[in-house]
Structure 1
Amino acid sequence: MIKVGGVLDDRYRVLRELGQGGGGIIFQAYHMTLQKYVVIKKIKDEKVKALDVRKEADILKKLHHPYLPQVYDFLIVDGEVFTVMDFIDGHDLRWYMDSGILFSEQQLLRMLLELCEVLEYLHGQRPPIIHRDIKPGNIMIRENGEICLIDFNISFSENGGRVGGYSYYFAPPEQLSGSGYVPDVRGDVYSLGATFFYVMTGVRPRESSLKSTVVETAYSKGLFRIIRKAMEKQPEKRYQNIGQMRRALERQAEGAYRLVKPLAGAAGLLVVLLLGMALVLWRREKQEALFAQQYSAYVLAASSEDGAERVTDGLEILNTEGFARILKQRPKQRAVVLEEIADGYFAEENYSSAASYYAEAAQIQPDSIGQMADVRDQILALIRSGNLEEARHCVEEDGSGLSNETLQYIEAEFLVEENEKEAALKQMDQLLESGQERDLLLRCCLYGAQYGRETEDYDRELVYLKRAEEYADTLEYNRKIGDLFLDIWQSDTKKARKQEALAGAERCYQKVCQVQNAGYVDRLNLAMILEMKGSYKDALELLKALAQTAPEDYRAYREAAFALYGQEQQKPLKNRAKEPILYYGKLAQQYYGDRTDDEQMEQLKAMLERLQGK
């Protein structure tokens, strides 16, 4: 059960309840790994029964648009269902209305056009996604002035299952009738119009009340006509889609801007056109330079990030306003971002999301080597998600360009999922004897090591891990193999094997830390391995360098205290010094603060108390 102050799924610290909506209870939380604020929504029990959980999760995670919050996670914990998404800084339209704040017509037009853009995006999905609950409380205005349409996780597709509720004042009349109602895009057209009717007039729109109400508005007749047309009682009299409404708003906006400051004569018009063109080109060049910088930084850093960070940073690129146009013109770069996101999901063992991103990457780079790699990884993700039928269909439909070695490996993965593990290992061993594709050989070695772990055959696991080292040529794989060596060191009881495993972990993390963009955690792990090995001097040099790069991170001070303690324990009792240990230990406690999520800090506290004779 979720509660304020608790931790959900070992990652999300629940900070406060934000409120309740038609679909569930909403909380603000803190992602302890990514160190960012998120929103967690607990879906009400009656909604869970109506939801196809897997399908809903896949749909939501695929959506990325600058005017939508990004959905990061879909959790099932103790039978309760939660969605995790961006925390949006700012206030909703309802707050502005309650505060008596009036918007200019230009502000309203901008908001309406942004909402039309995001609704066109939702309606353009296949199948279309209908929001079905557009209202002032579901339209956020960010600190930068942009809108964000929220609470779309209770939406559903045309001709799909009926999930979620609606708001009486802003729902279309046909939705309220209930009998035989099949939602379509015109319902969202009505709700958008009704929402801005309320913003423009202060009157909550319901057909019965409007007949006896004289409605006044300070805004132009042209804009008000567009809003009233969107609110026609009969769906066939409204705009038939959001695109039609958007074009009407664009014409209204052009007219409004022309009236702001007219210039006399053709010369004035030419100056405006030239200045406008120069401004557009300047903004475009600036946006493309920003994209190039952010894209390059992401690709370079991706290998040193964990899966969750890779997903978050990749989604940020997809969601940044202006980048969508650039990525549309550069399908290869878009494919790279999608692949990195997919790899991140795969590393986090979120295989269904990984499969959908691999599939999207494959679609935008047909007839290429990259496409076949994406198809292969999509199939593997489908297998590991347990979706064997779709995986076999993908092999039949899209796998004609896959190599024989790849098909052999895929068949072995099917055997693993079908619990024919010995047969799978035999097939992978055959690949190891005759195969040439390094990535596949590495995967075979990792499965062999996993099989050794499952059967508690640590000698077998060590053999496969050492061979895996030969094929590992990325930070990610060296890190993974190093962690597997560490698992043996922690689990095994045989001293010789423990030492062999620790040496393997050191080799792998030395490779990881040799690269220029090695991360803080990687270097911290290497220092801890050196401590375990008894190389305290080398560990301390590395930890002091870490403390200089991140002086407010307590972990380097914590490990320095432990390393110094180990170093002093090697000396005769009369020669041991405790002051350096206390110095680094107290620094660790200072920067750790009031937190309680690190067991090693409890060990450090006990060690410091012993040294001080408490």
Structure 2
Amino acid sequence: MRSGNELSDTYQIIRKLGEGGGGIVYLAYHKRLRKEVVLKQIKGKRFSVADKRQEVDILKNLNHSYLPQVLDFLTIDHEVYTVMSYIPGKSFRQLLKEKRRFSQGELIRYGMQICSALNYLHSQNPPVIHGDIKPANIMLTPQGNICLIDFNISFFLDENAVLGYTDGYTSPEQYIIALDKESERSIGKYAKIDEKADLYSVGATLYHLATGKKLSGYKDRLDREYLAERTSEAFAQVIAKSVEIDPKKRFQNAFEMFLAFQNVAKKDWRYQALLRRQKAVRFGLLIGMAGCLAIGGYGIYRIRAERVTEYNRLVAQQEEYRENKEYDRQEEVFEEAVRILPTSLESYYQNACALFEQEAYEDCISFVEYDVEENEKLNLMQERMADLYYLAAESHMELEEYEEAVEAFEKLFQRGGFHQVYYRDYAVALAYNGEENEAEKALNEAIDLGLGEDSVYYTRGEIKKSLGKPEEAVQDFRNCIEISEDAKLKARAYVLIQDLYEEQGRDLDQREILNEARNALPMENQMLILQRLVEVDLKLAGKSGENSYLKEASDALLTVIDQGWDSYDTYNNLVILMQKQGNLSDAETYAKEMLEKYGEDYNIYKRLAFLEIDKQEQKQNRQRDYRSFEEYYEKAKKWYQEEQKENDTDSEMELLNQVYQQVVSGGWLSE
């Protein structure tokens, strides 16, 4: 396949990157995502991607900092291709050719990162075996981290496929099984390849990086003395154990090897000498303390365990109250949880979520900046800190404080919050802050972390909206809605299309897109849609005088009440709409419900007074009775005088005063 060729409507080949036992690798351009990707044609037996749906889904859902993202699988002319994110940087094979030397600290860090990635792969169900770890398949990114590329997908998708081998890095069992498949006579020593084969390859690779010498084969013994000279005896011990010929003598899993790298410094002879000196000094003190610790230690442990158990119960209760919108009770439990375990962030996170959900955005920001950041008891390096900064950033976004939102996102990333959604929303904040180029970079980071195509369209729509390109933005939001299965994301896209139509004064288009959303989204995602629809219908009714808009708005408000999303304004608007449509009985019913639910205030009595006027006007003169109107009017006037703020007037109250004077002057009431 030559450069410039197109593979399907989505991918354009840029150039061939290489070819090996696993397949042919190309650099390609993804037209919809607008980014470079790696496209690999899998060699070996052909298989149906549709028949391997479970395995394919496992691979596409892989998401780890030190692995490329599997973006897609294609079957074209019976050939299977994988699409992965493109990883910038240099392979360790290139670095070895450049005579790059690596310190022990660097090698330990690389080893831990590789083991972290392998632990993640091996923990999948079924486990994903990389099968080809070597310097050429480990990238060093510009940020100084590794990325483990080109894991053997064909072996994962087809249990009958055979892993190849690379002299100097491949485990004995993998080497022998591969030869067995090639041989006419069975060699027959190993039955299968498992996770320990990858651990052998890690050790062999790090041996090459540390010494500059490659093992010539699995029978070649490593030069442990030379390796220890270049690093340390503790590091050499880890590598020697990982390349044992017998898999049973190696580390049992990647996490065990990770811990071994982590403890290398502690096993260093200099560290051990220091410990011995410290131990001698402390020995006398420890003898005296031993009896006390033996008596009290278990009791302290038990008390701490009970506190943690109680704290976890309270946090779970906070979350339950949040979900049920019982925010006052949530806050009470938060205060109790903090008293029991003041050093943990989890209860603080639940409380911040509660503030955000109530749209108390300023309070949420203040809570994170003062109650959390300025709290000396808290360890701000806990993982939850990134999530708290995300809530602060999103609160700034809601308040259209984009510069502050960008700052909050940057704090988030300093706490290790590397998640696709964070980068997606960071890109949006940057765009609205006028940083278009940085927004594109953040979006590309999100894509590299596995951001779905629907979210990519959504984010591009936000960026286009911020740049004043409404038609392009609408198209991107439309594309998001068309392909997304995420109801929340679709709801956001619908609302943003309505915002764009509102900016252009397209009232009928606003109503149309909101009704489309109402029909397309599950009920639990319709709250904001219904609120927006009511506003648009009221505007259209005011312009046209058509009752159909009022009826639609009323139905929307009744749905809001049925779903438990109601507020004071919901009832207030519903009473007004019912009255305008002549449904006075229903209007009165909802006004009285409002009074019972929210308590006395002048506005509710004002509504009831106006309803009484309309009710009496429908009667014959001799049947009219304005005593209830007078009662409501007097209560409205009393509460209005109590509630009225300085320079704050209500034109409807002035109108109600005029109506009252007309009723009095007409002789309907005795003065």
Q: TM-score, normalised by structure 1?
A: 0.46
Q: TM-score, normalised by structure 2?
A: 0.42
